[in-house]
Amino acid sequence: MDAALQRRVIVENVYPEIDGGRFPIKRTAGERVRVSVDVFADGHDSVAAALLHRRRGAPDWTEVRMEPAGNDRFTASFIVDALGAFEYTIEGWIDRFTSWRLELSKKVGAAQDVASELLEGAEIVRGTSQSAQLRDPAITVEERVTIALSAALQAAMASRPERNAATRYDRVLGVTVETPRARFGAWYEMFSRSAGTDPTRSATFDEAAARLPYVASMGFNVLYLPPIHPIGVSFRKGPNNRLTATDGDPGSPWAIGAATGGHKAVEPGLGTLQDFDRFVAAARTHGLEIALDLAYQVSPDHPYVAEHPEWFKRRPDGTIKYAENPPKKYQDIYPINFESSDWPALWEELKSIIEFWIGHGVKIFRVDNPHTKSFRFWQWALASIQARHPDTIFLSEAFTRPKIMKYLAKSGFSQSYSYFTWRNTREELTEYFTELTQTGVREYMRPNLFANTPDILHEYLQHGGRPAFQVRFVLAATLGANYGIYSGYELAENVPVKPGSEEYLDSEKYQIRPRNFEDPTSLAELIAQVNAIRAEHPALQRDWGLRFHHTDNEQLIAYSKRSEDGTDLVLVIVNLDPFLMQHGYVQLPLSDWGASSDATLEVTDLLSGERYYWRGEWNYVRLDPSLRVAHILTVELPAPLAEEPAEPKL
C-alpha cells in the first residue's frame, strides 16, 4: 500500500499560482514573493508549514517557516535577488511538539494530573537537554511543567521539526524574475526617419542621434523605434494610406523587406548597421535604452518570399494572401504562416531575428500584433531567449479580447498594452485599474499605458484641446509604473484623417514628418516635471500600491499610490473634464493610512510646490483646466506603516 496514504496533512489553495502552476508569476530583481496557503489535518493536532524556494536548477531548497494567519491559512515570503527562473513550493506536517505543548498547558490549567503527558513529551523532545529532565522523578512536576512550556525548549524544537509523513505540495510553482526596467519605465516612441528637418528624405541615425538629448531631457528611459528595416516597393502605400505611392514616398516601415535585405538589415536611408550601433551607444550615454519593433510580417519584396515561399499562405489561384483586418487592407504586407509545413525552420529563423538584434545591443522589443501569431511560438521563443538573456524585455502590442491579452502575458511577455486609451470616465478607470492592480491578474500582466500610438488618436484627444493631453498624460504617468507616448503628443497633435476615425491626418506611418519641438506651447516641461517626480517617488514605481478614493463629483478622480515599505505616499486628483472647472470633496482613507479621523495632514503639490493642511476625511478640491488639470500631492503621515497587500483572487 502507498505510504503517501499515511500523510494526514492537506496542503491546498496556494497563492500566487497561475492556472494550476502552468505559468510562472512575474517579479523583478529585488522584489518580494509573498505566498499563502491552506494547511490543515484531521483531528485536533497542530500543523506547521514551510515555504521552500530556490533558483531553478539549484540542488537545495531554502526554507522559510510559515506563520499562521488564521482560519488554517499560513503565510511567508522570500526575495528574488537575481534575474532568471526561480521556483517555490510548500511542505506541511503535523507539529507534534506544539500539539503536545498545547494539550499539556490546557490540562495544567484545568489542574489535571500531567505525569503521563510529561513522559510522552520526553519522547517527543528526545535529543534535547530537556528530554531527561521531563522524565526525572527527582524534579517536581511543577518544575518539569515549567521546563516543558519554556521558550528555550520551544526554540530548540522549532529548529529541528519532526517531519514524519510530511506532505509536499503536488507541484512546483515558477517565478520569472526580470530586470527592474520591466516594472518601471517611461517610453517615448520616435520614427527615426522623421528626426531630421527635411520632409523629402529620411533622416539618418546620426541625425536621429541629435534628438537624443531632447528625449532624455524629458526624463524618458526607453526610446522605442518603429521598424528600421528596408521597406518594400511593391504595393507601397502613399500618404494617408493611399493605395498608390509616387516617387519619393517612403512607404510604411511595417512593410518589411526589399532587395537590400529583410529583418536583419537596416533601411539604407537611415544608414548602416554600424551607424545603428553608434546610435545605440549614444543613447546609452543619455540614459536611454533602445526598444525595437519586432514585426513578423514581410513586404512582397522580402527575401523570404523568394527563398521560402512555403512560409506563406496562398490563395486558390496561387498568389500569396496579403494581410487584412476588415475593413482595413494591407496590400503591402504578407503575413507569415506559422502553420507552414516547414514550421520548425521558420520558427528558428524568427527567433534568430531577436538574437541578431540582441547582438547589436538591443534588449527591449515591442512586439507588433502578437495575438495574430502562434501562442505556442511565443511560449517557445520567449522562454528560449530569456533563458539565455534574462535581461530582455518584451512588450505585447495586442489590442484584442481580454482573455487573449492575458494569455499572451502568461506566455512570457514582460509587459502588455492595455485598454487605457479607451477608459476615460472615472467609473471606467476605477474598474479597469482595480482589476489590473488588485486581482490575480497583477501576478503576470504588467500594463504599459500608452496615451497615444501612431494608430490611435482617441476622440478625447481630438476634441479636448491641450488640457485633454495634460489629463491623459498625468493619468498614464501616475496610474501606471510603465507608460508611453508617441512623438507629437507633447505638441498636442489632434487632427484625425476624417471624422470618427482614430487615424492621424498625414500619418507618420506613411510619410516623413519633421516637427517643431521648440513650440512654446509644448508639454515637454510638464512631461519632464512628472518624470522627475516618478524618479523621486518609489510609490509611483510600482502598480500594486494603487487605491482609489471617493469624490462627490464624477468628473474628479482621486487615487493614491504607496511604496511597499509604507514610507512614500502620493495622492493624485485629476479633473477628467478638459473644458470646465470642476470642484468637490475628496474622501481620504485616514484609518488605512494610520491616522485618526480628525487628523491634520500636510500635503505638498509636487507640480506647483504649494503646501496645504487638510483636516479630517473630507477635503475640498478645485481644478480649472485652463490653469491646471491635476494635483500630484505627497502626503506627510504621522508615522510610516508598511503596506501589507491584500491577497487577491485569481
Name the β-bridge partners of 603.
Answer: 612, 635
Question: Per-residue b/e over 511-544, b at no fewer than 16 CB within 10 Å?
Answer: bbbebeeeeeebbbebbbbbbebbeebbbbbbbb
Strand, helix or coil for residue 377: helix
Catalytic residue among 31, 189, 207, 397: 397
Question: In this structure, which amino acid lies at residue 209?
Answer: A
Using the structure block, give the residue that is written with the C-alpha cell 508615522.
Answer: 639
Whether 368 is catalytic is yes
Cell of 397: 502590442
Using the structure block, give the residue that is written with the C-alpha cell 521648440.
Answer: 518
Handedness of CA 467, 470, 473, 478 (dihedral sign): negative
Catalytic residue among 87, 368, 568, 577: 368
Helix (H) or strand (E) holding 275: helix 273-285
CA–CA distance, 446 with 183 (Å, rounded to integer): 7
CA dihedral 293, 298, 302, 306 (to 10 degrees): 140
Whether 397 is catalytic is yes
Cell of 83: 534575474
Which residue, among 536, 420, 427, 404, has the nearest Cα to 474 in the 3D structure?
420
Going by their DSSP bridges, the two strands 448-450 and 482-486 should be labelled as: parallel
User: Which distant-in-sequence residues (6+ apart) come within 8 Å of 404 by Cβ?
Assistant: 371, 398
Question: In this structure, which amino acid lies at residue 534?
Answer: R
Q: How far is CA 416 from CA 368, 370, 396, 425, in A?
A: 11, 10, 5, 22
Name the β-bridge partners of 242.
Answer: 238
Q: Where are the beta strands (DSSP E) in 410-555?
A: 415-416, 448-450, 482-486, 546-549
- Please identify every residue annotated as catalytic: 368, 397
